């Protein structure tokens, strides 16, 4: 009997890949409650990433991501600049070198309270807690 | 009937967390074929990370990670410095801002060929293709 497939995506063929933040153009992220945010999808579902997707975000001075929640977690590394994260009602300062875990379903927002660009890497699972494809992954 | 649990780890309670590269001490990674490598576990299994773990690596000038393979993928962002990655027989230059996908089971090695420190973020799933806990996650 064939072994049970643990993760179907892990059975797909895919290749080593390199894509650079330096050479990519950011996609503006627009919508209610969003200001000055662009995204670069470094590795995602379309690259056959089996488990998680790696996205680079930039927030201009004074900008912010939406104050929202969803059934998947974030892990984040702040790459440049500083600002604040509000998560589940708590506000904390963030700066280059900070690693963050933002739990599934916690209401959260990143805000650039500085006068310089804030950049961070935000990793999401390619599937939500409910097994659905994660938007932006 | 209760819905099927998609991912048992996603049912565990966990909280928002911040941990900074600036304040952590690196753990030396030692073994055959490893030179000048330290790791900082920013978010891992013990933090109840449900899907993936985020680790910061530094390789001193002339250092290298082991030339090895394993049944789980890496996604990597080069944070500082430059060097080269050998993956499945191919050698490519790497520098700050490069994002990489290294497939499961591909033989791979990071080498710092420069005279400055090479730093990168390396994300791994918390479970391998076979459903086993990933070491260092």
Q: Residue A58 maps to which CATH number?
A: 2.60.120.10
B24 Cα to chain A: minimum distance (Å): 10
Query: Is residue A52 assigned to a domain?
Result: yes
**pLDDT tens, position by position, B18-64:** 999 999 999 999 999 999 999 999 999 999 999 999 999 999 999 99
Query: Is residue B136 assigned to a domain?
Result: no
Average pLDDT in the A5-30 region? 86
Query: Is residue B13 assigned to a domain?
Result: no
Counted domains in chain A = 1
Average pLDDT in the A98-127 region? 97
Query: Is residue A14 assigned to a domain?
Result: no
φ, ψ for residue A23, nearest 5 deg: -105, -5
List the domain range (segments joined by +) for residue B59: 20-125
Q: For residues B97 and B77, what is the distance between their CA atoms, to the nearest angstrom? A: 6
CB neighbour class for B37 (10 Å; exposed up to 12, middle 13-18, buried from 19): buried
Cβ–Cβ below 8 Å for B54 and A15: no
Cβ–Cβ below 8 Å for A54 and B75: yes
Query: Is residue A28 assigned to a domain?
Result: yes
Query: Is residue B119 assigned to a domain?
Result: yes
Q: Which of A89, A25, A88, A107 is nearest to A58 (CA)?
A: A25
pLDDT score recorded for residue A100: 98
Q: What percent of chain A has pLDDT over 90?
A: 88
> How many Cβ pairs closer than 8 A exist between chain A and B?
140
Cβ–Cβ below 8 Å for A16 and B79: no
- Give the CA angle between residues B81, B65, B31 to the nearest 5°: 140
A73 Cα to chain B: minimum distance (Å): 8
**Is A108:A68 a contact under the CB 8 Å cutoff?**
yes
Query: Is residue A50 assigned to a domain?
Result: yes
pLDDT score recorded for residue B3: 45
- The answer to whether residue A2 scores a pLDDT higher than 60 is no
Q: For residues B97 and B118, what is the distance between their CA atoms, to the nearest angstrom? A: 12
Query: Is residue A134 assigned to a domain?
Result: no
Task: Give the model's confidence band at A97: pLDDT under 50 very low, under 70 low, under 90 confident, else very high.
Answer: very high
Contacts of B134 in chain A (CB under 8 A): none
């Amino acid at each position: 009997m064939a072994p049970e497939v643990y993760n179907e995506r892990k059975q797909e063929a895919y290749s080593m890949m390199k894509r650079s933040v330096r050479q990519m153009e950011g996609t503006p992220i627009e919508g209610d409650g969003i200001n000055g945010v662009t995204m670069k999808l470094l590795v995602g579902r379309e690259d056959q990433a089996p488990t998680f997707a790696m996205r680079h975000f930039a927030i201009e001075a004074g900008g912010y991501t939406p104050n929202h929640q969803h059934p998947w977690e974030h892990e984040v590394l702040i790459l440049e600049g500083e600002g604040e994260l509000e998560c589940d009602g708590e506000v904390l300062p963030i700066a280059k070198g900070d690693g963050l875990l933002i739990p599934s379903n916690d209401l959260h927002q990143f805000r650039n309270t500085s006068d310089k660009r804030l950049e961070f890497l935000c990793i999401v699972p390619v599937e939500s807690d409910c097994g659905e494809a994660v938007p932006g992954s």
